[in-house]
Structure 1
Amino acid sequence: MYDDGLGGWMATRRAKTPAKIALIFGEGSSMTYGQLADGADRVAGLLWSSGIHPGDRVAFMGENSPEFVQVLFGAMQVGAVFVPINTRLAPPEVAHVISDSGARLLIHEPDFFARVEPAIAASAELTAIVTGDGQDGRPGLNELLVDARPAPAVTGRSLSDPAAIIYTSGTTGRAKGAVLSHQNLTWVALNTLVDYDIVSTDVALMISPLFHVASLGMGLLPAVLKGATLVLERGFDAGRALGLIQRYGVTMLSGVPTTYQLMADHPDWATTDVSTLAKLTCGGSAVPTRILNAYEERGLSFSQGYGMTETSPGATSLAPTMTRAKQGSVGLAHFFTSVRVTDETGTPAPVGTVGEIEITGPNVFSGYHGLPDATAAAFSPDGWYRSGDLGYLDSDGYLFISDRLKDMIISGGENIYPAEVENLINDIEGVTGVAVIGVPDDQWGEVPWAVLTVVGDSVPTTESVRAHLDGKLARYKLPRNVLVVDELPRTATGKIRKADLRSALAPRK
């Protein structure tokens, strides 16, 4: 099964633990690994009979569900490339992902019918299937799977073959598809097993969406690899999450500081039995001291980490035992990954010196789909991935993040690239300059603000700018506040000094 990549995982897991509960979902429904593998087989058969062959792209738009997992592994079994779509994207963004990836088949949940319709209408080659029983004349996945015949064995695949294309917003304003191979996703799962001590008896509560690479690469895949149990949640509700932790004896939970804060602030926090929680991981940004305190009072501690879509996504991890001793650090490089910090010449920087963070290892992606220039720019001459983030290593090898070279905003665990928002705001009549920056926020970590210069009598407001962007971007990308100023701070070459803006606006929440 090794040479089959992720396509062989279901058959192996069915042979080893057919009766073990793989998924818990809905109001107590469950599915064994044997049933999950059978479902993946039926999906593979359906895909093959629909003309999906090795290298073809299969897109999926839906929340955490058994269908998501079955389509993922079914696509892998026929050698197809899985393209998960962020369910928070607006119709133009969805259309870009589908057209740019070249997806031939889209499987989506009924709730997203309106958002996928423009992409479907624009492509004569795209076939669409609705999960469940179908909708508005579109075939339903349930019915199609009943008559699905087994797919033939696919040979000649390599671990270097693409397994998934996961879209990440780019600094140029267009989402780029990071191509992750079977090797990339296998090694990030192995890194997770090693550094987070995943075991077969673990019960992982998946409150973060599987279309995010963190939940996919460091949640779903390592759990399946070990034969652990996943509790799939379609969204996050603090009170419900606490109830599920107690009901199922959840041992693993991954989230962002916002989710952990909301749970600690919930009225049920003090009375919920959280004693089974052994592995709490937090990403997106550093865990604030107030959250560390709240969880340590209940005998719980965090693993923290750093990574990005291009590293599948794990690059570093900070063990719970070092949370206080190395507070502010994102930890050491994962077991099968290496991290370095370089200066402007690409030379490794001395200990304690800030430079660009670079990563190498079998979990690092091969490049961006259809973008050879962007791919070449993403790697150093000796093949290390250039993160675009600034940081330093201490004398023990622990990584500390200093700043984001690319000005990325992380709001509630979602990445927001300012250029994408700025490009659309520039279309507003009268706008002569715009800078979108992240401003600290107690709940979300950061929220986007837009700072504008304008000419004429019509002065944009927060409401008018948001209305202009609504439907073009996911709502979490819309500025929470819009400020109009006389002049934007700029360098001698005309570039906006966003660091100055962030510093000036940080106290103003």
Structure 2
Amino acid sequence: MPPSVPDLLRDSAAKAPDVLAVTGDGRAIRYGELDERSDRVADLLAALPPGARVGYVDRNATEYFELLFGAAKAGVVLVPLNFRLAAKEMRWIIADADVSLVVAGPEHASSLTDLDVPVIAVGEPYERWLASGEPRDPRREAPGDGLLVLMYSSGTTGRPKGVHITAAGLAAGVELFGACFDVGPDSVSMVPIPYFHIAGAGWALITLARGGTLVQSREPTPGSMLAQLVDHRVTHTAMVPAVIQVMCELPAARDADFSALRQIVYGASPISEPLLARAVALFGAEFFQSYGLTETIGVTTLLGPDQHRPDNPVPGRLRSAGKAVPGMEVAVVDLETGEPAAPDVVGEVVVRGPCVTTGYWRNPEATAEAFLPGGWLRTGDAGSLDADGYLYLHDRLKDMIISGGENVYPAEVESVLAGHPGVLESAVIGVPSDRWGEVPHAVVVRRPGAPEVAEAELISWLRDRLAHYKCPAAVTFVDALPRNASGKVLKRELRRPWHENP
């Protein structure tokens, strides 16, 4: 049985209290201090009932770990919010999760002052609050099947779903995924991925569980990431292919010293063979591709360094998302019958194992729809397994757009567009982008009789109501949307021009 999440920090602090745990945000905190500060948080949060929810919204910062470990020690649930969301979106999540307390970065705290729960701003207010707690560990952890984190993912109907991340599930994910890499006490890991993503939080926890040093990126840019890699002698990092490509094009990268870098894990999309060759030549590190979901703690499949060799004898293997992480099971089932699909036949990817979520917050219907008999989680992704067990992702069963590693759900954007008086109807699709992989693009039918709406007006309307990465970069106006006989919009027809004329 893997150690609990609080024990990960307790053990590292006991073994090496003076070793640097987290740096990169203008602070440097050692394991002993991180353990002591999380004890103070735990002492304060223990005043809440077991299982109460505590919100956190800010860019990557040390306070996240103080709250995560403190909440875990006190048996309360951390709800990390996407700092890119509009204030209205944040308020909806805070209300849905029935949050009792929110810790927020200064720029976010000022927009949440009308909440009915206390909002503590990071900085002096947070430090005063922390100092009022005693440095004692209440040791009131949740049971293995109890909630540790409630992580919201965007919803196809315009409302996000709270994914249950249990104490046992997160501990198993850290152990199973961490065993795939050589992270240890000598490691320096850079995490540019936001902690509200399971990929960012999970990779950070793997580093802390093994006594390494975490270098966090608060406002990552290709230039700042390059500087961190070099200045901190980073040994491990995680990023998306779009970022890898930009970094490969930086003139300053050509003469940079990456000799400390050992392993890079990437996800969100495959990497092209030309980009891989450039990245291997530049960084000189081992590459891993990871496929996972919030619902699996990010732990599903992994394509290892052996399959990233330029001389790989299996053609197309680089397009694979890899094989199941040891301890997890991956299968593909027929879309109609739910029976196992034959090798190389496309069906729905399903997952089973100790990292799989127990369901969705106060959403029994979505929970029931997500599982097949036998505990198999439906991923909503279309894929196939070859005879050797390698998973190939062919498409998304839902129309999700992945832009720069961020998930964008068209229905949410379309719902906001529907509120504009000049819009009759719309469809949002993903179109290719050299920089981001995909970007949202809106196809809009203007409302007859209303003042004629322009592209810039619609984009501004969306940016006032949604996180900017969700907003289309361009709008096409049409007389009508293509539909099939049942009236469903044919998005494949809308995408066709970009794929016929890339």
Q: Aligning the two structures, in what range does the TM-score lie when normalised by the shorter sequence?
A: over 0.9
Once the two structures are overlaid, the 10-residue window that deviates more, 472-481 or 197-206, is 197-206
Matches within 5 A, 1:216-227: 216-217=201-202, 219-227=203-211
Matches within 5 A, 1:338-417: 338-343=329-334, 344-417=336-409
**Secondary structure at 2:435's aligned position in 1?**
coil
Q: Which amino acid aligns with 1:10?
A: L
In the alignment, the residues of structure 2 paired with residue 395 and residue 501 of structure 1 have an alpha-carbon distance, to the nearest angstrom, of: 35
Q: Which amino acid aligns with 2:490?
A: R
- 2:43 corresponds in structure 1 to 45
**Structure 1 residue 8 displacement after superposition:** 3.0
Query: Cα distance 1:336–1:166, how it changes in 2: closer, same or farther (>3 A)?
Result: same
What's the CA shift string for 1:367-409, capped at 9, x where partnerless? 1101000110011132211011101011110001100001110
Tell me, yes or no, if the aligned pair for 2:73 and 2:140 is still in contact at 8 Å.
no
Tell me, yes or no, if the aligned pair for 2:350 and 2:376 is still in contact at 8 Å.
yes
**Secondary structure at 1:204's aligned position in 2?**
strand
In the alignment, the residues of structure 1 paired with residue 134 and residue 305 of structure 2 have an alpha-carbon distance, to the nearest angstrom, of: 48
Structure 2: unaligned runs, 5 residues or longer = none
In the alignment, the residues of structure 2 paired with residue 189 and residue 318 of structure 1 have an alpha-carbon distance, to the nearest angstrom, of: 18
Tell me, yes or no, if the aligned pair for 1:292 and 1:301 is still in contact at 8 Å.
no
**Structure 1 residue 78 displacement after superposition:** 0.3
Overall identity of the aligned pairs, in %: 37
1:278 equivalent to 2:262? Answer yes
- 1:8 corresponds in structure 2 to 7
**Secondary structure at 2:175's aligned position in 1?**
helix
- 1:19 corresponds in structure 2 to 18
Given candidates 118, 127, 142, the residue that maps to 1:142 is 127
What's the CA shift string for 1:396-426, capped at 9, x where partnerless? 1000110000111000111001111111111
In the alignment, the residues of structure 1 paired with residue 35 and residue 497 of structure 2 have an alpha-carbon distance, to the nearest angstrom, of: 55
1:70 equivalent to 2:66? Answer yes
**Structure 1 residue 253 displacement after superposition:** 1.0
What's the CA shift string for 1:251-295, capped at 9, x where partnerless? 111011121112111121101111211111111111133321211
Q: Which amino acid aligns with 1:100?
A: D
**Structure 1 residue 507 displacement after superposition:** 5.3
**Secondary structure at 1:160's aligned position in 2?**
coil
**Secondary structure at 2:277's aligned position in 1?**
helix
**Structure 1 residue 33 displacement after superposition:** 0.7
1:107 equivalent to 2:99? Answer no
1:32 equivalent to 2:30? Answer yes
Tell me, yes or no, if the aligned pair for 1:192 and 1:198 is still in contact at 8 Å.
no
In the alignment, the residues of structure 2 paired with residue 163 and residue 437 of structure 1 have an alpha-carbon distance, to the nearest angstrom, of: 35
In the alignment, the residues of structure 2 paired with residue 275 and residue 477 of structure 1 have an alpha-carbon distance, to the nearest angstrom, of: 37
Tell me, yes or no, if the aligned pair for 1:19 and 1:34 is still in contact at 8 Å.
yes
- 2:153 corresponds in structure 1 to 168
Given candidates 320, 329, 333, the residue that maps to 1:329 is 320
Q: Which amino acid aligns with 1:131?
A: V
Structure 1 runs, 4 residues or longer, greater than 6 Å off: none
Tell me, yes or no, if the aligned pair for 1:454 and 1:484 is still in contact at 8 Å.
yes
Tell me, yes or no, if the aligned pair for 1:61 and 1:84 is still in contact at 8 Å.
yes
What's the CA shift string for 1:33-64, capped at 9, x where partnerless? 1111011111112223xx32310101111111
Tell me, yes or no, if the aligned pair for 1:305 and 1:331 is still in contact at 8 Å.
yes
Given candidates 463, 474, 480, the residue that maps to 2:473 is 480
- 1:465 corresponds in structure 2 to 458
**Secondary structure at 2:79's aligned position in 1?**
strand
Structure 1: unaligned runs, 5 residues or longer = 134-139
1:492 equivalent to 2:485? Answer yes
RMSD of aligned alpha carbons: 1.8
Q: Which amino acid aligns with 1:289?
A: E
Once the two structures are overlaid, the 10-residue window that deviates more, 351-360 or 494-503, is 494-503
**Structure 1 residue 154 displacement after superposition:** 4.1
Given candidates 86, 90, 99, the residue that maps to 1:90 is 86
What's the CA shift string for 1:8-28, capped at 9, x where partnerless? 33222211221221112235x
1:314 equivalent to 2:293? Answer no
Q: Which amino acid aligns with 1:32?
A: R
The total of aligned residue pairs comes to 493
Matches within 5 A, 1:263-274: 263-274=247-258
1:303 equivalent to 2:288? Answer yes
**Structure 1 residue 481 displacement after superposition:** 0.9
Given candidates 491, 494, 498, the residue that maps to 1:501 is 494
Tell me, yes or no, if the aligned pair for 1:462 and 1:479 is still in contact at 8 Å.
no
Tell me, yes or no, if the aligned pair for 2:73 and 2:137 is still in contact at 8 Å.
no
Once the two structures are overlaid, the 10-residue window that deviates more, 412-421 or 190-199, is 190-199
**Structure 1 residue 320 displacement after superposition:** 1.6
Q: Which amino acid aligns with 1:434?
A: S
**Structure 1 residue 155 displacement after superposition:** 4.5
What's the CA shift string for 1:109-162, capped at 9, x where partnerless? 112133323xxx242xx11111111xxxxxx01122223124563457311110
**Structure 1 residue 433 displacement after superposition:** 2.6
**Secondary structure at 2:389's aligned position in 1?**
coil
**Secondary structure at 1:116's aligned position in 2?**
coil
Tell me, yes or no, if the aligned pair for 1:295 and 1:301 is still in contact at 8 Å.
no
**Secondary structure at 2:439's aligned position in 1?**
strand
